Structure 1
Amino acid sequence: MKKILSLFGLLFIFGGAQAAMPAPDELVRAVTGEVLEIVRADDAIRNGDPARIAALVDEKVLPHFNFRRMTMLAVGRDWRQASPAQQDRLVEAFRTLLVRTYSNALTQYRDQTIAFRPLRAAATDTTVQVRTEVQQPGAQPIGIDYMLERSDNGWKVFDVVVAGVSLVTNYRGTFAQEIRSGGIDGLIRSLEARNAELASGAAS
């Protein structure tokens, strides 16, 4: 279940900026379908080939996250304590954690489907919520809500709400504990250690 949540909770994959920007739900629907088709057809990805997974993530995912805002939201008020250099390391470490979690979860995809709920947003809105539902045989559907903001480079995801739980809020409590225990540098060390652990697991 955790792997399924990781997969669909981190499936924030949308097309690049266009002259006439499509509605965010249309982007989610079109590009999610494209990526899942790639996963279904690529045995190397399903078998955990790191190079093939990295190529897919680099092409379809990374350009469309607002990792800095996600990190700021996850760190919360302690963000202001961090120096610019520490902020950059936090963003990089959190970005790496999310990407590696997503990459690992890609190998777990099988026959889940995604249903889209009607978009409730005005054309002038700069922040929207795209609501979807992951449907899986023999299990209850899982609600996934994507929070996006409009930018000059297209829509960017800055949070995902899985079964009512915000991704960035969920991390905030853990990050606050790490900061209380070891300061900003302690949080950075913890994230980097976790990333090293995930990288070691992928390599093995």
Structure 2
Amino acid sequence: MIKRLLLPFLTVFAFAGAAHPQQAADTSTPDGLVKSVVNDVMTSVRADKDMQAGNIGKISALVEQKILPNANFTKTTQIAMGRNWSKASPEQQKVITDEFKTLLIRTYAGAIAQIRDQQVQFRPYRGTPEDTDATIRTQVINKGEPIQLDYRLEKTAQGWKVYDINVLGAWLTEAYKGSFNTIANQQGVDGIIKTLQDRNRQLASAKG
């Protein structure tokens, strides 16, 4: 179930790295940050054949360097967990966040290999300097077909951070909330941890 939920989001998210290079963006604005990350990922992947072939080590390093510093993954996990987040101890929350992040990175490896000539079109952002939450709307053009891909960001003391993505009208956190609720209702918070850990072990074995 988790793999089925992840692939549509991560595949399109990887395509977002295939935008054509543009001049340096102003990362102090939410749209500028997204454009900067997109272009950085594109440049890195197109210059490295190993990442295009799905090298998990190099892709993990890319994600750690280019994407995670610009993301609030704890908030992503908290929203996806919904009411189950408050039921988890601080130790469980950390484990779930780490395992969820690892799962996304490992799944991301397969999507990275598909980056070729896709392009991204950014729709105009009409926010104000006072905004603390923003949605950046884009379209990924893949073989002539437009795919909706939006980013939700929040303004923090460290700058703008991405915490959710929307593909074809479905937000990643909402898609996961139902899955996590089902597991928690049947097996508790520990069941979510076990499901994530089992999936990560399977992906690690497949890569090995």
The alignment's TM-score, normalised by the length of structure 2, stands at 0.86
Deviates most, 52-61 or 116-125: 52-61
2:77 alignment partner AA: T
Give the structure 2 partner of residue 189 of structure 1. 194
Q: Secondary structure at the match of 2:85?
A: helix
What residue in structure 1 maps to residue 59 of structure 2? 53
Task: Please give the residue correspondences for 1:1-204 in structure 2 after superposition, counting only pairs within 5 Å.
Answer: 5-9=9-13, 22-138=28-144, 140-203=145-208
Q: Which moved more, 1:175-184 or 1:87-96?
A: 87-96
Is the partner of 1:80 in helix, strand or coil? coil
The answer to whether the 8 A contact 2:59-2:109 is kept is: yes
Q: Please report how far the alpha carbon of residue 12 of structure 1 lies from its aligned counterpart in structure 2 after TM superposition.
A: 8.6
Name the CA distance, whole Å, in 2 between partners of 1:134 and 1:181. Answer: 38
CA distance in structure 1 between the partners assigned to 2:96 and 2:13 by the alignment? 21
The answer on whether the counterparts of 1:159 and 1:167 sit within 8 Å (CA) in structure 2 is: yes
Give 3-state SS (helix, strand or coil) of 2:154's partner: strand
Contact preservation (8 Å) 1:11, 1:102: no
Gaps of 5+ in 1: 14-19
Opposite residue 73 of structure 2, the aligned amino acid is F
Paired residues of 1:129 and 1:146 also in contact (CA < 8 A): yes
> CA RMSD of the aligned region, Å?
2.0
Task: Assess if the C-alpha contact under 8 Å between 2:56 and 2:106 holds in 1.
Answer: no
CA–CA distance in structure 2, aligned partners of residues 110 and 11 of structure 1: 8
TM-score normalised per structure 1: 0.88
Shift of 1:95: 1.3
SS in 2 for 1:146: strand
What amino acid sits opposite 2:74 in the alignment? Answer: R
Cα contact 1:12–1:61 (8 A) shared by 2? no
Range with bigger deviation, 123-132 or 41-50 = 41-50
Which runs of 5 or more structure 2 residues have no equivalent in the other structure?
1-5, 18-25
1:18-72 C-alpha deviation (Å, 9 max, x unpaired): xx85211112113312211221221111112222222212211122221111111
